[in-house]
């Protein structure tokens, strides 16, 4: 196969804007993007429809079933039965990614399943119009966890994670009021064009998916350095570290979407309207005006129209689309003049045209009406455990307590906001033992947990290392988060661990001090 050449401007844009810094994710030697997956799912939990679902069903994320794992032959056979012209290979790296979705993040993955009936038909329809395989829809799961408001640390935004220049190159409007990278329909059209351009280069769907992540420049470099081999797995170790986990994550997402029921995972019941329609707006109007006149929750309108950063639809500059639930479309047409005149001096003044200059990638859940509780950090705790016990997002917990990383100290008091109807239930957590708190969430804790939850971090006499004793429920990623400037690769290499899933309770790990 001869690699074709696109215009220079295309290469410059893609190479500069799709090669995300390796610091965005923690990658271990086998290529697991576990932290990125966790961050994407955590961000998704804080979106409007998911928060509303959890508010109405606070036990939805309290999964009382353990993650089911199967022999390799079962995974391989199931992947072979998925209808796909894109080859879905199976190996140990892919198995580890499958476990992230079906075991470690099974509760939050249920939110993705709740959204797929809304986003997948739209993606399939658009991809079909471009002649693209429908199964490329799984890329949206690994790009953003089906969250149109997702923003990476590098600034990639939306369902398809476009950088600014790449989005503009593919015709998306991006300014302080409108960001069409967040528009599910327009960004999917842009992604389809980008994918088609990449296929014209490689004529191989797996390489196309890899190039979508790191840019064709990096893929071409890997091909050259591998003796002109064109198979993804043959150039695997020549690719950027974050891209090594991208294809395994794609295969794992395809598996988890198709076989979630076999792992006892239930889609989170979201009240997202599958039947929606759009109407073109040719005059300025604010989503808050529509909300207050038509009694539609403002959060719902923002969720259906995420491209309007301030809530203002500047239709007077050019016609723009408004998405509404189908059953509200007729009422909007009838009330159009009333809506536009409602508090227009407030909603349509110049202040509404200025976006928030902070580049925050996280919007915390509304705490209005919530009950504030305090939790005192105990030995053996980490932020992941605490967020699970109180059924709040990890990002929320960090935001409420001004925690930038994951470091907490024994005796530290954390503020947590909970539903008032559940405040008595949650107020008991502070006085429970670690075993009781884990069992409350349906987690099995061995009888000897008390010995492993004792203080397990100690400094060796030479001062060069610190040690950590593995506790029940720990994963290598949980452990790494406890230490500053330490990566999973460091810990695995130092302790001669080849399979991160095989760490044992009571195992002592050496952690090299970083200056």
pLDDT for 374-398, tens place per residue?
A: 999 887 788 878 888 888 877 778 7
Which pTM was predicted?
A: 0.65
Identify the pLDDT of residue 442: 67
Question: Which pLDDT score is estimated for 256?
Answer: 96
pLDDT of residue 252: 95
Residue whose token pair is 């508010």: 55
Across 362-371, average pLDDT? 64
Reduced to 3 states (helix: H, G, I; strand: E, B; else coil), residue 402 is: coil
Strand partners, 268: none
Q: Are 100 and 112 in contact (CB under 8 A)?
A: no
H/E stretch holding 277: strand 276-281
Query: How far is C-alpha 513 from the geometric centre of its chain's CA atoms?
Result: 31
Going along the chain from its start, the domains and CATH numbers come out as 30-56+70-263 (1.10.530.10), 276-353 (no CATH), 371-442 (3.10.350.10), 452-512 (3.10.350.10)
Query: What pLDDT does 451 receive?
Result: 35
* Cα distance between residue 69 and residue 135, in whole Å: 24
Contact present, 250 and 90 (Cβ < 8 Å): no
Q: What pLDDT score does 201 carry?
A: 92
- Identify the burial level of 297 via C-beta atoms within 10 angstroms of its C-beta, where 0-12 means exposed, 13-18 middle and 19 or more buried: exposed
Query: What does the pLDDT look like over 454-503, one tens digit per residue?
Result: 334 443 435 677 888 777 666 776 677 677 667 767 787 788 886 666 67
């Amino acid at each position: 196969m001869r690699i074709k050449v696109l215009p220079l401007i295309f290469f410059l844009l893609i190479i500069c804007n799709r090669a995300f810094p390796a610091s965005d994710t923690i990658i271990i030697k086998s290529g697991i993007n576990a932290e990125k997956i966790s961050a994407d799912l955590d961000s998704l939990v804080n979106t409007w429809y998911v928060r509303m679902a959890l508010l109405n069903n606070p036990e939805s994320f309290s999964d009382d079933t353990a993650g089911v794992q199967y022999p390799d032959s079962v995974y391989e056979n199931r992947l072979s039965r998925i209808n796909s012209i894109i080859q879905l290979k199976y190996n140990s790296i892919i198995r580890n990614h499958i476990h992230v979705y079906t075991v470690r993040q099974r509760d939050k993955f249920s939110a993705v399943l709740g959204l797929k009936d809304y986003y997948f038909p739209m993606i399939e329809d658009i991809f079909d119009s471009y002649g693209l395989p429908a199964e490329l829809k799984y890329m949206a799961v690994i790009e953003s966890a089906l969250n149109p408001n997702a923003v990476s640390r590098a600034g990639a935004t939306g369902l398809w994670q476009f950088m600014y220049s790449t989005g503009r190159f593919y015709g998306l409007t991006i300014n302080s009021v409108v960001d069409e990278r967040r528009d599910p329909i327009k960004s999917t059209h842009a992604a389809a064009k980008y994918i088609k351009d990449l296929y014209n280069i490689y004529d191989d769907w797996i390489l196309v998916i890899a190039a979508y992540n790191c840019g064709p420049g990096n893929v071409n470099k890997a091909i050259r350095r591998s003796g002109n081999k064109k198979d993804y797995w043959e150039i695997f170790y020549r690719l950027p570290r974050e891209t090594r986990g991208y294809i395994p994550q794609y295969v794992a997402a395809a598996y988890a979407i198709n076989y979630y029921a076999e792992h006892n995972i239930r889609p989170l019941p979201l009240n997202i309207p599958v039947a929606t329609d759009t109407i073109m707006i040719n005059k300025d109007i604010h989503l808050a005006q529509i909300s207050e006149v038509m009694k539609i929750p403002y959060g719902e309108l923002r969720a259906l129209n995420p491209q309007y950063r301030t809530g203002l639809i500047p239709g007077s500059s050019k016609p723009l689309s408004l998405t509404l639930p189908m059953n509200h479309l007729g009422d909007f047409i009838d009330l159009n003049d009333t809506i536009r005149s409602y508090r227009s001096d407030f909603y349509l003044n110049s202040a509404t045209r200025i976006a928030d200059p902070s580049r925050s990638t996280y919007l915390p859940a509304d705490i209005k009406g919530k009950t504030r509780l305090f939790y005192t950090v105990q030995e053996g705790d980490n932020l992941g455990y605490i967020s699970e016990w109180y059924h709040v997002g990890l990002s929320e917990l960090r935001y409420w307590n001004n925690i930038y990383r994951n470091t907490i100290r024994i005796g530290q008091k954390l503020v947590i906001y909970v539903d008032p109807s559940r405040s008595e239930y949650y107020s008991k957590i502070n006085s429970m033992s670690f075993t009781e708190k884990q069992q409350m969430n349906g987690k099995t804790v061995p009888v000897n947990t008390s010995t492993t939850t004792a203080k397990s971090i100690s400094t060796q006499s030479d001062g060069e290392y610190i040690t950590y004793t593995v506790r029940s429920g720990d994963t290598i990623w949980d452990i790494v988060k406890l230490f500053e400037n330490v990566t999973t690769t460091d810990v695995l290499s130092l302790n001669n661990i080849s399979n991160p899933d095989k760490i044992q309770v009571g195992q002592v790990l050496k952690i090299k001090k970083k200056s």
